[in-house]
Amino acid sequence: MTLSPQTKARLALVSTFLVAIVLSIMPGPTWAEPFRPDWVGLVLVYWCIAAPGRVGVGTGFVLGLAMDVLYGALLGSNALVKSLLAFLANRMHLRMRMFPRWQQAVAVMLLLALDQLLVLWIRGAAGRAPETLFYWTPSVVGMVIWPWLFVILRDVRRRAKIA
Amino acid sequence: MIHVFGRPLRPPSQLTRLILLGVLAAALMVLDHRSNQLAKIRSALSLLAAPIHFLAALPARAGGSMTEFFTTRDALRSDNDRLQAEREILMARLQQQAALEAENNRLREMLGSATRVSDRALAAELIEVTSEPFTRQILIARGSRDAVSVGQPVIDAYGVMGQITRVMLATSQATLITDAGHAVPVLVNRNGLRALVFGTGAQDTVRVPYLTALSDIKEGDLLVTSGMGGTFPPGYPVASVTKIVNDPNESFLEITAKPTAHINHSKQVLLIWPGAKAPKAEASAKPERAAPRARAGAAR
C-alpha cells in the first residue's frame, strides 16, 4: 500500500495530535497529576514552529475544542487559549528555529505558562480557580521534556517529509 | 474557509483567523456558562469522544485484567471467604433494618412528619480518564438515556462522592465533594450541629468553615448529609473530622476533614434518586415536557 506524500504527511500530523490528546486524558497515579505536561500544547507548539504553513490558529482551535469536550470543561475555553498559543508560536517560528535547544525550551515554557494563565483567568471568571502553586508545574515539566519531544517529533517530521 | 490540515495558508491571515475564532470561542464560553443551549451539541460531541476515552482508558483496563488474570486461587479463595463473612454480618444487620424502618415511619407518622422512603439506586461504572487538570471530576458511564439528571447525588459504598453536573447521552460528569467549588450541607452525627463541607481541590481533604470556637465539634466526629438544600438526601456519611485548629486571631475554627467515600479508588459508584422526591418530580416533569414540546424547545 503506497500513500501519496500528501496523505502521509497529513496522517503523521493527525496521529501525533491524537497521541497527545490520548496522553493528556490517560489516567495515571493521583500523585503524578500535577506533573503531567500539557501534551497537546507542546505538540501544537512544535508543529507551529516546524510547519507553520500547515498548522496554525485553526488547528489550535480544533484541538482546544476537542480538549474541552473530552475534559468536560467550559466549551470554548481551551479552544480560545490554544488558538492564541498557535498564533504566538507561528509568529515566533523563525526566531525559535534559531534558538539553541535550551533557550527554545525556556521560550516554550513561557508560552505554556501564558496559556495556563489564560486558563486560570477563564476558570476564575466562570467559577473557582485552583489555588495551589502546583498549578504551574505542567509548564516547567513541559520545558524539561521539550528537548526530547523535539527530537522525536523532528524524526516524525523527516520521515513524513513535512516541510 | 478555515483549512485545518495540509493546505497552504492564504488569506485570511493568521491574525484575522485568531480574531474570528477568538470571538467564536468567547461566544461559545458565554453560551455554555450562561445557558443550557449547548447541552445538545455537547451530548452529540461526547459520542465522538467515546472512542478516544476508550483508547485512553485501555492501558489501565489492560493492567486491571492482567492482575485479575494472575491472581492465585488462594487469593481468590480468601477473598471469597472474607466477602462471605462480610455478607453474613450485613445480612444480620439488615434483618433489623426492615423492622427499624417500619418503626421509624410509624413514629414519624405519629409526629406528623413525612415518612422516609429508601432511595432508588443505580450502579454505574467510572470511565477511567482524568478530568481537566486541577479539577475534581469524574466521568460515569451512565447518561441521559439512563434518566440521569443534573444535581443527582453520587455515592459509593462508604459515603457521598459528589453530584452530577453534566449529562451527556451515554455518559455524565460528576463534580466530587473535594472539588474547590463544591459544598455539602451536613450535620455532626453526634449532636446535630449544622455545618457545610467545602472541597479544597486537594485529593483527600475537605474543610468545614464557619464554625466558631464555641461549637461542639471534636476530632473524629462523623459528618452526615443534613438534607438541606434538597440535593443530597439526609443521613449519608460525608466526612470525618481529622483536625481542628483554634487560632484566637481568627473568628472561626479551622477544621479539616477526610471524606469517608473512597474517592480516589472507587471503580463503581451508585447514582441515587432521593426516594420521596423522585416519583413526584418525574410525574410533574413529564406532562410539561410532552405537551408544548415545540414551544419549550423554542424557549430554551
Question: What is the pLDDT at residue B200?
Answer: 85
Nearest one of B276, B280, B281, B278 to B108, comparing CA atoms: B276
pLDDT digits (tens, 9 = 90+) for B30-62: 888 888 788 888 888 888 888 888 888 888 788
**Contact: B201, A71; criterion CB under 8 Å:** no
**DSSP-derived pairing of the beta strands B172-176 and B206-207:** unpaired
User: Which residues of B fall within a CB distance of 8 Å from A22?
Assistant: 52, 55-56
Tens digits of per-residue pLDDT, A81-111? 999 999 999 999 999 999 999 999 999 999 9
Q: Which of A26, A62, A77 sits opposite B56 (nearest CB)?
A: A26
Among A13, A38, A71, which would you mutate to test the B interface (most chain B Cβ atoms within 10 Å of its Cβ)? A71
Find the CB nearest A54 among B5, B128, B137: B5
**ipTM beyond cut 0.90:** no
Do B147 and B124 meet the contact criterion of CB atoms below 8 Å apart? no
Amino acid at B58: L
Question: Distance, in angstroms, between B94 CA and closest chain A CA?
Answer: 36
> Residue B263's pLDDT is what?
86
DSSP 8-class letter at A20:
H
Q: Closest-CA residue in chain B for A28?
A: B130
Choose the closest CB to A69 out of B49, B202, B203: B49
- Tens digits of residue pLDDT in B230-249: 889 888 999 999 999 998 88
- Cβ–Cβ < 8 Å for A129, A120: yes
Burial of A44 (0-12, 13-18, 19+ CB in 10 A): buried
Q: Are strands B268-273 and B183-188 parallel, antiparallel or unpaired?
A: unpaired
How confident is residue B2, by pLDDT bands cut at 50, 70 and 90?
A: low
For residues B235 and B227, what is the distance between their CA atoms, to the nearest angstrom?
A: 8
The predicted-structure confidence for B122-166, as pLDDT tens digits, reads as follows: 888 888 787 888 888 889 989 888 889 888 999 988 899 999 988
Q: How far apart are alpha carbons B36 and A138 in whole angstroms?
A: 32
pLDDT of B11 > 80? The answer is no
Which residues in chain B are contacts of A64 at CB distance < 8 A? 25
How many Å lie between the alpha carbon of B103 and the closest alpha carbon of chain A? 45
Q: Cell 480560545 belongs to which residue?
A: A80
- Can you list the alpha helix ranges (DSSP code H) found in chain B? 14-34, 39-69, 73-111, 277-290, 293-299
Conformation bin of residue B99: beta by default, left when phi > 0, alpha when psi is -120 to 50: alpha
Determine the pLDDT at residue B289. 36
The kind and range of the H/E element at A67 are: helix A57-71
CB contact under 8 A, B15 and A87: yes
Is B118 or A98 the better-scoring residue by pLDDT? A98
Grouping H, G, I as helix, E, B as strand and the rest as coil, residue B154 is: strand
- For the segment A109-140, what is each residue's pLDDT rounded down to a tens digit? 999 999 999 999 998 888 777 777 888 999 99
- How many Å lie between the alpha carbon of A75 and the closest alpha carbon of chain B? 5
